[in-house]
Amino acid sequence: MEIKDTVALLKSKGYRITPQRVAIIRILRDHEGHPGVEEVFRSVIQVHPNISMATVYNVMEVLEKEGIIKAIANSKKSRRYDSEVKPHGHFICNSCGRVFDIPMKYYEACLKVFPSEMTDFEVNSFELTIKGICPDCKKKLL
């Protein structure tokens, strides 16, 4: 979602549009991976040195609530965020904690293999999370 669209959505929901909020939205949009709150904080503090960690948490909570970002729990203590909210899966490395997107075609293939004994169930959402060791960490183990 473009920044102007995100800002318009937040305005329509009654949220104030602050420079800090826009900076966080921009950081999330421009980030190549799945940042955690601490990573977003380290980036936004470069532009807004007086911003607090609580503000970053609050903005991230609002963005998640409004469906602009999606939280990915990669451990009991840590959450990462994804600005790509279209359906897709994730691979989470148990060693380094990085999160990788699973291409859509594999995600869709998993959806097609719904157990036959569950045909009476109505699926409202589907999340695919695979955990293991990424190639970089695997190399370090060898």
Q: Rounded CA gap, 87 and 107, in Å?
A: 8
Reduced to 3 states (helix: H, G, I; strand: E, B; else coil), residue 61 is: helix
Q: Is 38 labelled a binding residue?
A: no
Dihedral of CA atoms 58, 56, 72, 122 in degrees, nearest 10, equals: 30
Q: Is 108 labelled a binding residue?
A: yes
CA dist 116 to 29, 44, 112, 119, 121, Å? 39, 48, 11, 6, 10
Q: Is 64 labelled a binding residue?
A: no
Q: Is 96 labelled a binding residue?
A: yes
Q: Residue 91 pairs with which residues in a beta bridge?
A: 100, 130
Q: Is 134 labelled a binding residue?
A: yes
Residue numbers in the known binding site for Zn(2+) are 93, 96, 134, 137
Binding residues for Fe cation: 108
Instruction: List residues forming the annotated binding site.
Output: 93, 96, 108, 134, 137
